[in-house]
Amino acid sequence: EYFYPRQSRQLGLGHAVLCARPIVGSQPFVVALGDSILGLHTPSKIVERMIEEFERRDVDVVVAFEEVPDKEVVHYGIAHPRGPAGEIFELEDMIEKPSVDEAPSNLAVAARYVFSPAIFEALDHTSPGKAEEIQLTDAIQRVLSAGGKGIGLRLEKGERRFDIGNFRSFFQAFA
């Protein structure tokens, strides 16, 4: 069975997630962005691992990250890890689509998230940011700065995200 809300105005990714609030209620939930494909050539365990860590560490936010070259940080939400970023790391902050100079790391959001319902409260108070849209990254920032805990998980070695929102990787994904 599928349930879906309709986002009748294009107010951004954060707003789209907020539209799901009546369906999700007060449960933890996963956000998987449909324009990024994982597990295309080999099955991906990333979401399973994220849920395990979410439960084990009792955090509010878990985000999947992929290391990207400098020139690509401007297309993604970027992690500001607390200390050196191993396979799993604590999030100090996040920034949406920074310039290379602003980027605190090369770790880009790989389109999968696990959230506690605290994110809804944060989204309620998040004003439009980059591109005048309500950004999910800004709401995560809000949860973290209010004392919530967030962690990042890197995709496994050799695992790739295909961002089909750009021509090159669209064709790589479906070639």
Tokens encoding 167: 């021509």
* Residue in this structure with the two tokens 């933890």, named with its chain if needed: 28
Which of 165, 166, 171, 174 touches ligand G1P (CB under 6 A)?
165
What's the CA angle centered on 109, arms 107 and 113, to 5 degrees? 135
Which of 65, 76, 115, 162 touches ligand G1P (CB under 6 A)?
76
Indicate the residue whose CB is closest to ligand G1P. 77
As a whole number of angstroms, the distance between CA 40 and CA 157 comes to 14
Query: Who's near 145: CB < 8 A, 6+ residues apart?
Result: 93
Residues 10-69 that bind ligand G1P (CB under 6 A): 13, 33, 35-36
* Least distance CB 157 / ligand G1P (angstroms): 20
Nearest to 13 by CA among 151, 123, 148: 123
Q: Total residues at the site for ligand G1P (CB under 6 A)?
A: 15
Q: Is 163 in the site for ligand G1P (CB under 6 A)?
A: yes
Residue 135 or 141: the one with the smaller Cβ distance to ligand G1P is 135
* CA distance readout (Å), 56 to 21, 52, 59, 73, 99: 24, 6, 8, 30, 34
Query: Who's near 107: CB < 8 A, 6+ residues apart?
Result: 65, 66, 67, 68, 78, 79, 81, 85, 152, 154
Residue 60 or 163: the one with the smaller Cβ distance to ligand G1P is 163
* Least distance CB 145 / ligand G1P (angstroms): 17
* Least distance CB 142 / ligand G1P (angstroms): 14
As a whole number of angstroms, the distance between CA 162 and CA 173 comes to 6
Residue 59 or 140: the one with the smaller Cβ distance to ligand G1P is 140
Residues 77-136 that bind ligand G1P (CB under 6 A): 77, 96, 108-109, 111, 135-136
Residue 59 or 109: the one with the smaller Cβ distance to ligand G1P is 109
Give residues in contact with ligand G1P (CB under 6 A): 13, 33, 35-36, 76-77, 96, 108-109, 111, 135-137, 163, 165
